[in-house]
Structure formats: C-alpha cells, structure tokens
Chain A
Amino acid sequence: MVSKDEIKHLGWLSRLELTTEELDRYVSQIDEIVRYFDKLDTIPLSESEWTYSTKEVSELREDANRVFKWEKLQSLKNRKDGFIKGPKMS
C-alpha cells in the first residue's frame, strides 16, 4: 500500500510541492497503478535467471567541446551582465 508519507517524500525529492488535495488524489491513483505493476512479480523466473540486454551504441562521438554562440541563447529570460541568474544556494 502506497502511503501519504511516501508520496510526499517523493514529491519533495522531485521538487514538487503537492497541495493536500493533490496528495490525497495521487496517493489513491498511484496506489492503484503500482498495484497493477505488481503483475511484474508474477514473471516465472528465479533470481539467478534475471537477465536483460541493453541496446548497443556502436561508436560514440568524440567528446569534444562545441562552442555555442551567446547570440543563440538570446531567448534566455534570466540574464544579467553576460551571466545566467539563478536562485541562492541557501
């Protein structure tokens, strides 16, 4: 059973401040969805048989620096004196 505290905590980790109404709704909806995911538990496999492959990427591009011109970033909203503005760290 998904709990209110779990969803609240995951919301905080994801930087989402949920309202009480959102929290109540998400708890019951996500509980239903995650219970549906429990279907995955019925895969008839023992742990030693767990395998999966990942897609291969044959060649990686050289990790070279590409200069991105400042004019290209004209659409940035939060700028000041040639810098990008951000909130205070604490």
Chain B
Amino acid sequence: MPNHLYRLTANQVTCGIKNGQFSAQEYIFQILERIEKVDNKVNAFVLVDKQGAIEKALSIDKRLRDGEAVGELAGVAVGIKDNICIKDLKTTCASNILESYIPPYDASVIRSLKENDAIIVGKLNLDEFAMGSTTEFSRYGPTRNPWNLEYVAGGSSGGSAASVAASECAVSLGSDTGGSIRCPSSFCSVVGLKPTYGCVSRSGLISYSNSLEQIGPVGKTVLDVVMVMNSIAGIDENDQTTKPIRPIATLTSEDITKSNISSKYTADQNKRNITIGLVKELIEGADPAVSKCIYSAVDLFEGSDCKCEETSMKSIQYALASYYTIATAEASSNLARYDNIRYGFEYDPEGYEWNTYFSNVRNNFGDEVKRRIIIGSYVLSAGYYGKYYLRAHIAREMIRQEIKSLFERFDVLIGPTMPILPFKIGQKIDDPLKMYQIDIDTVIANLAGIPAISMPIGFSNSFPVGLQIMADDMCEQTLFDVASFFEKIVDVRRSPEI
C-alpha cells in the first residue's frame, strides 16, 4: 500500500480507489491518522466522525468488489464547515448558543456529496456564525495557519482551508459572505471558490447574510474544486434563488438546458488569448510584499498569450461600507431567531419571564456577533435607514453596474485576494474596523453576486500569496479555464511541513 495517501488530491483519490490501487478503507485510515497527528496543532476540526467515515469507506469498497457503480467523488475525504447542517451530527457554528444543536436534516450540498460517495470526515472550525476574517472568534479557539502555527489561517472558513493545506482532508466546503472562503484559501495556499450567487443551494447553511453568502469548495487544485462543484452546483427546489449552471461559456444556461448538452464543468480546456483586467485600486492598496508577487505572475501571463491591462474600478471606494452595512443589517435580523426554544442548549425556561430568559440566553453570543447585531440594528433604525442601509444598496448597484461594464472589455478581473500577508494570532482582534478593512478585495464579488476564485500564486517572506480572479455572472467555467491555465504556468503547489 502506498504511503502518504492522505496527501493525494481528490482526483487522485477517486482514480486510485476505482482502479484498485488502494481501498477506500486504507485511504480513510490514513486520513484519520493524519488528523490525529496534526490537528492538535492546527485546530481545523471541531468534530471528527470516525465511525461514519469508516462505514462509508467500507460500503464503497464493498460496492466496488461487487462490481457496482460508485459516485464521482468515491472515497474522497471531505471536511465541512460547521455552519452547514449534517443530519445527526452536531452543528454549532462555533457558537455557545448552538453548542448542542443536532440538525434533523442534511443541507442540500451534503445530500449531493453523500450521493456522490464522498466521505464526510468531520466538521471544521470557523468564526462564530461565520463572522470574522481570522477564525479567532470561535468557541473552539483559533485555527492555526499550517505554514506557521503562530499566524492566523484566515477566516471565516479557516478550518476549511487549513485542513486541506495540512492534508487532513482532500477537499472541504466553506461559506463565503465577504471573502470567507477566499481569504483563508489565500493565507493557507489552497484553491477556494466563491460561486455566483444562486449557483449553489444555501438550503441547510445556517444564515448570516442571505443576499451575500454562498457555499463553495476548497481544494489543492483547480480540478478538485471543479469536481466538487459538479456535485453541489445547480438548481435546488429548497433554495428559490438557485439557477441552472452554465458549464459552456459560449452558451446560455437556457440553451444548455434545452439542448441537453453535458452539464459538467471541466478543468482541462486549453484557454488561450485571455483578456485580463488588473484592478488598479486592488493592487495599489496592497502591501508591497503582496503586490510584487502579483506583478511577477502578471509578467508570466503576458508571456503566455494573455493580454493584461490595468483598469480602474471607481466604485470600490464604497464597497466596504456598503458590504458591512448590508451584512450586519441582515445578520441582526437572522440572529433574532436564537431564543433557545426551538434549538439550543440545556436551559429550562420554566419559571422565567420571557425578556429575562431571552436576554440570559442571548448573552451566550460572542463578542463579534453581539457587535454586529448592534451595528445592524443601528443602520436599520429609524433616522439612519436612509443614511446607511438605503445608500449601501445604491452603492451595491453602482458596483454591479461598473463590474458589468468591465466584463464587456475583459474575460476576467484579477488582483490580490488579500491586501496583506497572514499576521500573528491576536494582532488585530481588538480593533474591529482594522479587521473589517482586510476584506476590501473580496467583498466586491459578494456585493455584485459574481464568482471569484483564489489560487496560490507564490510566497513572500515564506507566507502564501493568493491571486483572486473574478468572472461575470454564472461564468464559473471561465474562471476554471483561466485558473487551470494559470496553475500550469505558475507552479507553486507545495505542502507545509507539519
């Protein structure tokens, strides 16, 4: 049996298992051993479902022995961010208020992964209710960056990126409201995708900001991200915002549905003559250690038949204020439901008057969540609604329009995913505004609803740097074409020593 099976990509795992090079059981034992060995350092997992994982592996092996069909993700170890519901497995959002919540149903994305025979190995750490950019606001403590354990892994899907980087699972699911998949993917040197709004079902994702958030995959390669998307993307009757996917860039979704063409994304189309817009505001606002890395990548692209041109996006100046106004407003409304009556922890309401009971219960929210609930209530309150909430929506529309016009000139827009390199744990936790400001490059895609991917582009002072690529609405395939092309040119894939 080959050693280090845990290091394999999702594609290598399914091929290996289907070709009989190793069994799902052999692979999953190595994954579980790996988690045991390194997770006490990384703190990516908040729950490991050993029994469930082994049972699933045995069932895949049995079906293969019996000559039965297995799914496209057969045997692949997947980790799930702990704000996505899995039936009968605790789902806490890293919050004390949900410390013992056990969902009675699977999120739609989980159902799809299970049907495709992925092996769900456990739940991954996050900032409480996905509110944060470092995974430090978690009841389980911070996830550590596998490249340097003293540094943040990014967030809020810190567990999703760190677990893949540390080879504790092959791929993972995160959620991205303002960069929560792309930020940790950049900090941990893995590939992370925020799909178009409506591309992946949100049914079973515990809501934070409904108009901005999407579930998306994290993997070691673009191909792995594509494989997961082929399992989770598309229409779901439980989420009315979902749309048909568009795997062929030249056709509309309607054409594909009508003509019944294979509706799968691919990672091997040889894309040439790409027109790239380098967003000036994003690169100028970045730390030179980051921008230097982006510029060297741009040089490589230009030497490979790509046309790269600097472009400006004026509305970016309003993006962060617009994003945090909308996100906190939606959060304050979404989090009103936590009254501990329908789900929650052990705390008998008998004998309590309801105001007292709810206040006592809701004191279990952490610091950042409370802050965002209050900011959200503030921007929605009488007298401030027009000044903040309404104007935030106008800014959002301006950003949408400007992006739309840019995609008439460019196939993709690029820039750094994060304006800075990973920083030390604890360094920014006491300054919320400074923490919000590191999301400046990522919030744009959420406000506009467009897809964006972060991919490793190099290292600066031994820390990973991520390149962000954005494409037009529902043009995930364009992102995959460009990202896999870049992946071939800029070969930076390495594993951290841990």
Contacts and interface: CB of A to CB of B under 8 A. Distances in A.
Interface in A23-77: 26, 29-30, 32-34, 36-41, 43, 45, 50-53, 55, 57, 59-61, 68, 72-77
Interface in B421-463: 432-433, 436, 449
A6 B375 CA distance: 11
A13 interface: yes
A39 B356 CA distance: 38
A32 B374 contact: no
B325 A39 contact: no
B391 A85 contact: no
Contacts of A34: 375, 378-379, 388
A76 B397 CA distance: 42
A26 B349 contact: no
B388 A37 contact: yes
Contact of A2 (B332, B378, B390): B378
Interface in B245-270: none
A40 B344 contact: no
Contact of A33 (B341, B391, B436, B449): B436
B407 interface: no
Given A16-B365, A30-B371, A52-B394, A37 B353 contact: no
Contacts of B105: 72
Nearest to A13: B377
A68 B353 CA distance: 29
B342 interface: yes
B387 interface: yes
A4 to B, nearest CB: 12
Interface in B317-368: 317-318, 320-322, 324-325, 332, 336, 340-360, 362-363, 365, 367
Interface in A1-33: 2, 6-7, 10-11, 13-18, 22, 26, 29-30, 32-33
Contacts of B390: 50
A48 B274 CA distance: 40
A78 B355 CA distance: 17
Contact of B321 (A32, A39, A57, A84): A39
Nearest to B328: A33
A33 B375 contact: yes
B363 A16 contact: yes
Contact of B378 (A6, A40, A76, A87): A6
B471 to A, nearest CB: 18
Interface stretch (B2-10, B48-56, B96-104, B118-126): B96-104
Contacts of A26: 370-371, 374
A82 interface: no
A15 B362 contact: yes
B387 A51 contact: no
A8 B104 CA distance: 37
A40 B393 CA distance: 10
How big is the B interface, by class?
A: 35 or more
A82 to B, nearest CB: 15
B237 interface: yes
Nearest to A45: B394
B430 to A, nearest CB: 9
A41 B375 contact: no
Contact of B325 (A30, A37, A60, A89): A37
Nearest to A80: B350
A16 B370 contact: yes
Contact of A10 (B343, B356, B378, B394): B378
Nearest to B376: A14
B392 interface: yes
Contacts of B241: 55, 57
A30 B328 CA distance: 12
A34 B387 CA distance: 11
Given A15-B358, A40-B388, A72-B105, 8 more contacts: A16-B373, A32-B433, A33-B375, A34-B375, A75-B102, A84-B342, A85-B341, A87-B354
Interface of A: 2, 6-7, 10-11, 13-18, 22, 26, 29-30, 32-34, 36-41, 43, 45, 50-53, 55, 57, 59-61, 68, 72-78, 84-90
Interface of B: 100-105, 197-198, 211, 237, 240-241, 317-318, 320-322, 324-325, 332, 336, 340-360, 362-363, 365, 367, 370-371, 373-375, 377-379, 381, 387-388, 390-398, 432-433, 436, 449
24 contacts: A10-B377, A14-B336, A14-B373, A15-B355, A29-B371, A33-B436, A34-B379, A38-B321, A39-B317, A39-B318, A40-B387, A41-B391, A51-B397, A52-B396, A52-B397, A55-B241, A57-B240, A57-B241, A75-B104, A77-B100, A77-B345, A78-B347, A84-B341, A85-B348
